[in-house]
Amino acid sequence: MSAKEKLIRDVLDLDEAKATRARIVVVEEPEMDSEMVPLPEGWGEMANGEPMPDVAAAVRRSREGH
C-alpha cells in the first residue's frame, strides 16, 4: 500500500467529530541523510515566543531516574 493510499484510508476511518478537527500538514521532503523531518513553520516556538523545549530529552532524563 502506498503512503498516499494509507493516508486516504486513515482519513476515511475518522469519525465525523475527529474529521472536523483534523488537519493535514505537508512538509517538504527531508534530506536523505537526515533522520528527522523539519517542524512546520511556527512549531519551533511556544505561544509566548520562547523556543519549544526538547520534550524527548526531558522524557529520556525522567526515565533514567527510575
Report the number of distinct structural domains present in the chain: 1
Say what the pLDDT of residue 41 is: 84
Q: Domain range holding 15? A: 3-64
Q: Rounded distance, CA 52 to CA 55, Å?
A: 8
Q: Apex CA 27: angle with CA 22 and CA 31, to 5°?
A: 150
Q: What is the pLDDT of residues 7-44, one digit of tens each?
A: 889 889 998 888 888 888 877 776 666 577 777 888 88
